[in-house]
Amino acid sequence: MSRLVKWLEDYVLPLASRLGQVRWLVALRDAFISLMPITIAGSLAVLIKSLVEAARDHLGWKAFAFVMQPMVSISNLVWRGTFSLYAFFFALALGYQLARNFEGNRLAASIVSLSSFALSIASVAKVKVHGSNLVIKNAFDISQFSTTGLFTAILFGSIGFAIYFACYKARIMIHLSANILHAEQAAFDSLIPAMIAIFSVGGINYLFQVITGKYFGNWLLTTIQEPLVKWGQGFGTVLLVTLLIQVFWFFGINGLGVLSPILDSIWLTAQNGNITAVRDGHVPPFVWVRGSFDVFAWFGGAGGTLMLIVAILIFSKRSDYRTIAKIALAPGIFNIGEPVLLGLPVVLNPVYLIPFLLTPVVNVAFSYWVSVMGLVNPVQVGVPSIMLPIIGPFLACNYDWRAIVLSIVDMLIAFAIWTPFVIAADKIANTNNPKTFFTTQF
- 120 versus 9: the higher-pLDDT residue is 120
Q: Exposure of 39 by Cβ count < 10 A (0-12 exposed, 13-18 middle, 19+ buried)? A: buried
Between 14-23, 81-90, 222-231, the lowest mean confidence (pLDDT) is in 14-23
The vertex-115 CA angle with 109 and 117, nearest 5°, equals 105
Last residue of a domain, one of 213, 230, 247: 230
Angle of helix 150-169 relative to helix 86-102, nearest 10 degrees, comes to 30
Residue at 204 is within a domain: yes
Same domain? For 197 and 312 the reply is no
- 399 versus 133: the higher-pLDDT residue is 399
Residue at 254 is within a domain: yes
The arithmetic mean of pLDDT across residues 151-178, rounded, is 86
The arithmetic mean of pLDDT across residues 125-140, rounded, is 68
Question: Mean pLDDT for the chain?
Answer: 84
Residue at 273 is within a domain: yes
- 248 versus 100: the higher-pLDDT residue is 100
Asked if residue 328 has pLDDT above 60, the reply is yes
Same domain? For 319 and 424 the reply is yes
Alpha helices (runs of H) in 334-400, residue ranges in sequence order:
338-343, 353-372, 391-396
The arithmetic mean of pLDDT across residues 106-134, rounded, is 80
Residue at 30 is within a domain: no
The arithmetic mean of pLDDT across residues 295-308, rounded, is 88
Task: Note the pLDDT of residue 359.
Answer: 93
Same domain? For 110 and 77 the reply is no
What secondary structure letter does DSSP report for 221?
A: I
Same domain? For 91 and 174 the reply is yes
Same domain? For 422 and 294 the reply is yes
Residue at 13 is within a domain: no
Nearest to 336 by CA among 297, 298, 390: 298
Q: What is the largest CA-CA distance in the chain?
A: 81
Task: Note the pLDDT of residue 439.
Answer: 40
Same domain? For 422 and 285 the reply is yes
Task: Note the pLDDT of residue 6.
Answer: 65
pLDDT tens for 403-418 read: 999 999 999 999 999 9
Asked if residue 47 has pLDDT above 70, the reply is yes
Same domain? For 69 and 121 the reply is no
Task: Note the pLDDT of residue 250.
Answer: 83
CA–centroid distance for 251 within its chain: 22
Residue 9 pLDDT grade (very low, low, confident, very high; cuts 50, 70, 90): low
Are the C-beta atoms of residues 350 and 393 closer than 8 Å to each other?
no
The arithmetic mean of pLDDT across residues 171-192, rounded, is 76
pLDDT tens for 206-251 read: 999 889 888 888 888 888 888 889 999 999 999 999 998 888 888 7
Same domain? For 180 and 308 the reply is no
Expressed as residue numbers, the domain containing 314 is 236-440
Residue 89 pLDDT grade (very low, low, confident, very high; cuts 50, 70, 90): very high
Same domain? For 53 and 140 the reply is no
Residue at 417 is within a domain: yes
- pLDDT exceeding 70 applies to what percent of the chain? 87
Task: Note the pLDDT of residue 197.
Answer: 93
Q: How many domains does the chain have?
A: 3
Same domain? For 283 and 402 the reply is yes
- 367 versus 317: the higher-pLDDT residue is 367
Q: Which residues contact 338 (CB under 8 A, 6 or more apart)?
A: 301, 331
Between 155-164, 195-204, 240-249, the lowest mean confidence (pLDDT) is in 240-249
Tell me the C-alpha distance between 341 and 84, whole Å: 38
Task: Note the pLDDT of residue 438.
Answer: 43
Tell me the C-alpha distance between 3 and 407, whole Å: 34
- CA distances to 89, 225, 234 from 297, rounded to whole Å, are 29, 26, 17
- pLDDT exceeding 90 applies to what percent of the chain? 28
Task: Note the pLDDT of residue 58.
Answer: 67
Residue 440 pLDDT grade (very low, low, confident, very high; cuts 50, 70, 90): very low
Asked if residue 10 has pLDDT above 80, the reply is no
